[in-house]
Amino acid sequence: GIRTIVLGDLTGIRKHIDYGKKTNQKLHQWAFGKIAELITYKAKALGIKVKVIDESYTSQTCPKCGNRKKPNTRNYTCECGFKYHRDGVGAINIRQKYLGHFGVPVVAEKVPDRMTPPLGFRLIVPKVHVALAHPKECS
């Protein structure tokens, strides 16, 4: 089973950076602290450890060759031929940081070549029918 959940440390993400009016507004409405708090609460209830890792340069470093390049789109493309969504690159590298292998070239077979499609979640509430008992009439 799962023993540890690794989260990127987003402390200070809102400070000292101006991304423009629209992006700043979206960033300030993002409840990342609450999400991390809920994940931690649920994990601890299940006996799972939560580790917070500094995520500096994780979306800019190629997990295949270790080259650092800031992506200018949502997709990361490296000179070594590695292509991936930059959030996926960040996730791979946060894992690598946790394992102590960040920036170290990884065997190509260990780096996924595409992201798994997102799963759809739906809450299904079972319908409960309660039969009301009518008291028997006594004669």
Q: How much is the pLDDT for 132?
A: 45
Q: How much is the pLDDT for 137?
A: 47
Q: What is the mean pLDDT of residues 4-32?
A: 75
pLDDT tens digits, 128-138? 444 444 444 44
Burial 101-133 (b: 16+ CB within 10 A, else e): ebeeebeeeebeeeeeeeeeeeeeeeeeeeeee
64: CB partners within 8 A, 6+ apart: 78, 80, 82, 105, 106, 108, 111
Q: Are 52 and 44 in contact (CB under 8 A)?
A: no
Q: Which residue has the higher pLDDT, 108 or 72?
A: 72
The Cα 82–Cα 76 span in angstroms is 8
Q: Is the pTM of this model over 0.85?
A: no
The Cα 61–Cα 90 span in angstroms is 8
pLDDT tens digits, 26-84? 766 667 778 888 889 999 999 999 999 988 889 899 988 999 998 888 889 999 988 88
Q: How much is the pLDDT for 106?
A: 60
Q: Is the pLDDT of residue 21 over 70?
A: yes
The Cα 113–Cα 78 span in angstroms is 13
| Domain limits, the chain | 4-110
